[in-house]
Amino acid sequence: MENESNRLDMFFLPLVLQGHMIPMTDIAKTFETRGAKVTIVTTPFCATLFAKQIERVNQLGLEFDIQTVKFPSTEVGLPEGWENLDAVAWSQNQAELLDKFWKALSLLRELVFHILEEHRPDCLVADLFFPWATDVASRLKIPRLVFGGTSFFATCVAGIIALYQPHKRVSSDSETFLVPHLPGEIKLTRTQLQEYLRQEVETEFSKFAKQIVESEVKSYGSIFNSFYELDKDYADYYRNILGRKAWLIGPVSLCNRDTVDKALRGKEASISRHECLKWLDSKKANSVIYVCFGSLTKFNSQQLVELAKGLEASQQDFIWIVRKDKSEEQDWLPKGFEERMDGKSLIIRGWAPQVLILDHESVGGFVTHCGWNSTMEGVCAGVPMVTWPIFSEQFYNEKLVTQLLQIGIGVGSKQNANFGVGADVVSGDDIVVAVRRVMAGEEAEEMRRRAKKLGEMARKAVGEGGSSDLDLTSLIEELMQHKAARESK
Ligand code: UDP
């Protein structure tokens, strides 16, 4: 055990949501590998979701500590036990429950303060969705780092839209507007923006979004799951023009080097890694397209039918992660689909070991909703993507993938719809076209070459002396200086 005064004592507070907890756990692991002592603060239910992953980290000798805090579900009128966003996202009265959910997050404030007060760590890394964390940390005189879970590109686009409101100067929802001041000629439509930006009146969420930005500006700085070579122009813009402090320490998923670590990310997978690898091993290189829409998107039956038709017509081997229960399936799967696709497809109902799959050489393309983790994981795997953004900042990420990095083809989704509820249906015909363009032909080969190069750059960035490795070192040094200054007082 290292001398405690030479060791950073770090607390991590992830949002109770897979897409934020997974990268935060990877980040915690990365800091621990560099000698920090790590504690994760989460709810009892979320702790169980990550039990296997945490057990594995501990087996590797890295010893994560977990502090649980009761999620105030009932206090805000949410059903008992609703501790993470999945439950809320897939409920009937989503909008009302979401407001309650954000409120519950704010009630965690004093509970977390008391935990921190008792332990007095050297630093708090808290998710963007806890804007109060900056004040809590400053009361205890410790730096608060923000983790937002997205790219510099998307953060800059969101910041510019909030500041200059270019979407208010077009006459219809479908007319494109230019995102001013940013490099890259980024054009969007109003329908691609999150609902709260499209509304004329202030809503609970728009007030919350303002608090998030204010707390980010007041914080010690932000850490990004990205790497300089990928996000260069926008990292420079964020740091130099917006004047905010930030470190790029990704891609964070690359800290999972072997198949066991890759398979254990997030929830327990619904398929064993052996079965999954056996199926992938039986396929030729770059012959399989992997279809997954992250942890929150849920399509209606009509969309699922179109997707099934599109995949079948593409004649491509595929792995498809389906969120619907088997009991609901009879309603929507085209007749005889599974029999016809036998041998050509692997349908996983529930949770897939995504990074394990993407990194396999037989996977040659990725149909993705452009969640930032999935996008980065696709980049690391060096696969071109069919981009199918659904909600949040995913439409911005799509622009990065298709227009700036040129490693993807859009399927043509146009409507930003929370978790997919109320989204326009993308037709099977449009899906076939996009899948074919990404999987075969000269255009696909060009994209694959670019994607592979980016994947290599990603690995270099986190390797010794790479850009992310150096940024991480400088952040750790700064935090150590802060700790020393605090201890000498
Ligand atoms: N993921 C996974 N298996 C699944 C679905 C998702 O491992 O079946 C992981 C995926 O690898 C990524 C995260 O869950 O790390 C999803 O994050 P993302 O930002 O892509 O999307 P979100 O779920 O936040 O919409």
Q: Indicate whether 421 and 312 sit together in one domain.
A: yes
Residue 364 has pLDDT above 90, yes or no: yes
* Residue 200, domain member (yes or no): yes
Look up the pTM and report it: 0.96
Cis peptide before 251 (omega within 30 of 0): yes
> Domain limits at 214?
4-254+462-488
pLDDT given for residue 282 in this prediction: 97
Same domain, 410 and 468: no
Same domain, residue pair 381 and 433: yes
Q: Which atom of ligand 1 is nearest to the CA of 354?
A: 7
Q: Which CATH number fits the domain that encloses residue 146?
A: 3.40.50.2000
Let me know if residue 76 belongs to a domain: yes
Q: Identify whether 261 is part of a domain.
A: no
Does residue 342 carry a catalytic annotation?
no
Check pLDDT > 60 for residue 70: yes
Verify that 93 and 41 share a domain, yes or no: yes
Task: Tell me what the pLDDT averaged over the chain comes to.
Answer: 93
- 482 carries an active-site annotation: no
Question: By alpha-carbon position, which residue is closest to atom 7 of ligand 1?
Answer: 354
CB 379 within 8 A of CB 455: yes
For residue 93, pLDDT beyond 90: no
User: Does residue 194 contact residue 416 with C-beta atoms inside 8 Å?
Assistant: yes
262 part of a folded domain: no
Same domain, 198 and 311: no
DSSP tally for the chain: helices H, then strands E: 21, 15
Distance CA 333, CA 299 (A): 13
* 111 assigned to some structural domain: yes
Considering only CA atoms, which residue is closest to atom 13 of ligand 1?
Answer: 19
In a domain, 260, yes or no: no
Are 349 and 440 found together in one domain?
A: yes
Please give the distance, rounded to the nearest whole angstrom, from the Cα atom of residue 50 to the centre of ligand 1: 14
141 in the same domain as 27: yes
Q: Which residue has the higher pLDDT, 175 or 420?
A: 175
Please determine, for residue 326, whether its predicted confidence score (pLDDT) is greater than 60. no
pLDDT, mean of residues 135-157: 96
DSSP string, 419-466: GGTTPPPPPHHHHHHHHHHHHSSHHHHHHHHHHHHHHHHHHHHHSTTS
Q: How far is the CA of 278 from the centre of ligand 1 (A)?
A: 22
Neighbours of 94 (CB within 10 A): 16
Q: What's the CA-to-centroid distance between 18 and ligand 1, angstroms? A: 7
49, 191: one domain = yes
The percentage of residues in the chain with a pLDDT greater than 70, rounded to a whole number, is 98
Do 228 and 294 have their domain in common?
no
pLDDT digits 0-9 by tens, 233-284 = 999 999 999 999 999 999 999 999 899 999 999 888 999 999 999 999 999 9
**CB of 113 within 8 A of CB of 139?**
yes
> Tens digit of pLDDT for each residue in 17-52?
899 999 999 999 999 999 999 999 999 988 988 888
**Domain assignment of residue 13, yes or no:** yes
Q: Is residue 259 in a domain? A: no
CA of 85 to the centre of ligand 1 (A): 13
Exposure class string for 422-456: b at 16+ Cβ within 10 A, else e: ebebbbbebbbbbbbbbbbeeebeebbebbeebbe
For position 1, what pLDDT does the model report?
Answer: 43
Mean pLDDT lowest among 82-96, 112-126, 467-481: 82-96
* 352 CA: nearest ligand 1 atom: 8
- What do you get for the CA distance between the two ends of the chain, in Å? 25
Stated length of the chain: 489
Task: Say how many domains are in the chain.
Answer: 2
β-sheet bridge partners, residue 147: 127, 223
The Cα–Cα gap between 232 and 21 comes to 25
Residues 99 and 153 grouped into a single domain: yes
- Catalytic residue, chosen from 26, 86, 122, 127, is 127
- For residues 145 and 68, state if they share a domain: yes
Domain shared by 216 and 346, yes or no: no
